[in-house]
Amino acid sequence: MTAQVLALVLLAACIHATWNTWLKLSGDRLVVMALMGTGWALLAACWLPFLAPVERDAWPYLAVSIVVHLAYTLLLVPAYRL
C-alpha cells in the first residue's frame, strides 16, 4: 500500500469517526444528518464539471444506490438513541 492510499484510508476513517461523534452528541440528529448530507452533496457537486456524464445504463443502479443510502441514513438516526 502506498503512502497516498494509506493517507486516504486514514483520512476517511477520521472523517467517519468525526461525523458519527457529531451525530451522537447532537440534539436533533435528523437535522444534523440532513445538514451533513447537504454539505457533502455540495462538496461532491464541485467535481461534476470535471466528470463524464453518467451513462444511461447506469441510472437504475444510481437510483437504487440513492434509495439504499437514504434508508441507511434514516435508520441510522434512531439507532443513536439506543
Is the pTM higher than 0.75? The answer reads no
Contacts of 21 (CB under 8 A, 6+ apart): none
Q: So what's the pLDDT on residue 52? A: 93
Above pLDDT 90, what percent of the chain? 60
Query: How wide is the angle at C-alpha 20 spanned by C-alphas 18 and 25, nearest 5°?
Result: 95
Q: What is the pLDDT of residues 31-58, one digit of tens each?
A: 888 898 899 899 999 999 999 999 999 9
